[in-house]
Amino acid sequence: MIFDRPDSGDSIDQGDIIRDCTVVHVVSLDPQTPDVPDVQSSLERVVVLTQTCDLAQRKVTQVVVAVAVEAEEIVARGQLKASDIRGPVRAGRVFGWYFLPADDALEIPELIVDLRQLHTVPLELLENLCGTGKRDGRIRPLFREHLAKHFADTYSRIGLPEPYATE
Amino acid sequence: MTLAEALEQVDLEPGRTYQCRVRGMTVELRVAPAQEKTLLSKPLCEEDIMLDPWCELPQPKWGTTFKAKPGPRLMPDIPEIPRDDEVAE
């Protein structure tokens, strides 16, 4: 098992998986009136990405989270096959996506953490959600750092125009 | 003669204020203090540094508040899934 179950009053930490987090996104924008965007909100399951040390030292009031989607939902939509998830995604060979296994005891399904969908939400919002039992669990150290490394690699990697030629 | 042309002939010092009477009127002339062109020209005083290694910038003070409408859940963009032993880009 790679998850812990923190108490509802425990502080927010990197790797926390929290349900029903409100995220806001701009749906459309008229260039003629850029100060009046069409804004929508949705309730998402998110994974906390802000570093543990910054959270522990109360350095931040805003927390970076990534949206997590049930792997089954992506397969059910026909966007990917189960073998894609179980193969390259699970093995960490797809930058921007991080696979989390299911945990029956915590009722966490298999999740895809979408590291390309990042949001900044108030720390207080996450604390309130945890206080009302919306924290599914917390990714344990080692696995949490593995996620953090994948997150960093997604944005720090250098892509070549095409692979080197071989004979 | 313009005022600027007249003042060209006076030996002015930055930061000083001059007063004189001209045709019965009191005229006050304040010369702005000399300004450094760049921050780099000032000597670095370690004690003056207030910035922690971590610094949260203040939130913008202006802006418009919108009430967001409930929308559909956010689904990911599907990346290219690598075959064989490739790593996706």
Checking phi first, is residue A133 left (phi over 0); if not, alpha (psi -120 to 50) or beta? left
With a threshold of 0.90, tell me whether the complex ipTM lies above it.
no
C-alpha distance from A105 to closest chain B C-alpha (Å): 26
Question: Radius of gyration of chain A from Cα atoms?
Answer: 17
Question: In terms of CA atoms, which chain A residue is nearest residue B56?
Answer: A60
Position A66 confidence tier, pLDDT thresholds 50, 70, 90:
very high
Strand residues in B1-89 grouped as ranges (E):
17-22, 25-30, 69-70
Delimit the domains of chain B by residue range: 1-32
How many beta carbons lie within 10 A of that of residue B12, not counting itself? 11
Mean pLDDT of A116-140: 96
Q: What is the pLDDT of residue A2?
A: 95
- Please measure the distance between the N-terminal and C-terminal CA atoms of chain A and give it in whole angstroms: 44
Mean pLDDT of A81-109: 93
Cross-chain residue pair A42–B73, CB shorter than 8 Å: yes
Global pTM reads 0.76
Residues of B in contact with A44 (CB under 8 A): 73-74
C-alpha distance from B48 to closest chain A C-alpha (Å): 22
Residues A65 and A125: their CA atoms lie apart, in Å, by 12
Checking phi first, is residue B58 left (phi over 0); if not, alpha (psi -120 to 50) or beta? beta
Q: What is the pLDDT of residue A16?
A: 98
Residues of B in contact with A88 (CB under 8 A): 81-83, 88
Q: Which of A60, A25, A56, A55 is nearest to A43 (CA)?
A: A25
Domains recognised in chain A with CATH numbers: 11-30+37-155 (2.30.30.110)
Residues of B in contact with A93 (CB under 8 A): 82, 86-88
Residues A47 and A52: their CA atoms lie apart, in Å, by 13
Cross-chain residue pair A116–B87, CB shorter than 8 Å: no
